Amino acid sequence: MKIAVVLRQVPDPIEPLELMPDEKALDYGEAGFLVNESDEHALEQALLLAEDGTAEVTVLAFDFGDVETTLFSAAAKGVDRILTIPWEEPFPPGTDVATALFADAIRSVRPDCILIGCQAHDELEGAFGPRLAVELELPYLGVVRGVRQTAKEMVLEAHKEYPGAAKARMSVQLPAVLGILAADQPPRYVPVSRIREAMKSAEFEELELESVPPSVAVSVARLSFPLRGDGARMLEGNEREVAEQIAEILVEKGVLT
């Protein structure tokens, strides 16, 4: 089985975000980047499937942000092939462009299964996976927590998550696109020494794809930080003083007797 995994770079959600002067885009020059969390789980799921059988794992990514770190880490984890899509702009591709280019790249790999994170915090136009699936004319199942190989080579078992910690067990006839929320186990840790080793030996294959014009169907009129309402009453002081204040609040509210 051939598995393709899409890895996207997203702004680090922990770091402060800055806006461009026209307030229509993030200031990507000021942003730190990291691999999209659920994409990282998609990679882990692919590696687990590969370990269970004889799958070959190919990773695809735009050459943008801190992608080298992500890809060397993927190489150290044991992926078989790494393909990069050239991207010269100082901002990441929009949804339509990313869909078209990833689809072209994936067609060149001809995988049986495409795994992608089911969400990214910088998506404005809904999740990317369903769009990619329609572009590839393949079925899509998202919000998946765990995928297993079945006795049939081209059939996977996927668990779709529902509220209340419930899951639907679904059978997936390949080829298909699966939107991963979480892998069967947390993304594996790779020692720095193995990443350094991968930096010496890993090879990235750069794809030559025809450029795609950006869509004009959706445009950003303005980005802003949320208006701060009254919000929380902030407690000040050192750790001990704040702890005392919280305890007093809990007594006052009848939570602590």
Helix (H, G, I), strand (E, B) or coil at 248: helix
**Which of 150-153's residues contact partners 24+ apart within 8 Å by CB, and which partners?**
153/1
Does 224 interact with another protein (rule: CB under 8 A)? yes
Burial of 190 (0-12, 13-18, 19+ CB in 10 A): middle
Kindly indicate which of the ranges 15-23, 46-54, 109-117, 189-197 contains the residues binding another protein, using the contact rule CB under 8 A.
Answer: 15-23
Q: 77 in the Ramachandran plot: left (φ > 0), alpha (ψ -120 to 50) or beta?
A: alpha
Question: Looking only at residues 193 through 212 of this chain, which bind another protein when binding is defined by CB under 8 A?
Answer: none
End-to-end CA distance of the chain: 61
Does 228 interact with another protein (rule: CB under 8 A)? yes
Q: Can you tell me which of 5, 46, 82, 133 binds another protein, judged by CB under 8 A?
A: 133
Interatomic CA distance for residues 179 and 38, integer angstroms: 9
Please say which residue, 16 or 53, places its beta carbon nearer to another protein.
Answer: 16
Q: Least distance in Å: CB of 214 to another protein?
A: 13
Q: Least distance in Å: CB of 117 to another protein?
A: 11
Does 213 interact with another protein (rule: CB under 8 A)? no
Q: Can you tell me which of 7, 11, 46, 72 binds another protein, judged by CB under 8 A?
A: 11
Does 140 interact with another protein (rule: CB under 8 A)? yes
Does 41 interact with another protein (rule: CB under 8 A)? yes
- Site mask, another protein, residues 153-172, x = CB under 8 A? ----xxxxxxxxxxxxxxxx
Does 89 interact with another protein (rule: CB under 8 A)? no
Residue 61 corresponds to which amino acid? A
Does 233 interact with another protein (rule: CB under 8 A)? yes
Interatomic CA distance for residues 183 and 71, integer angstroms: 19
Does 112 interact with another protein (rule: CB under 8 A)? no
Residue 229 corresponds to which amino acid? G
β-bridge pairing 113-117 and 2-7: parallel
Interatomic CA distance for residues 96 and 125, integer angstroms: 9
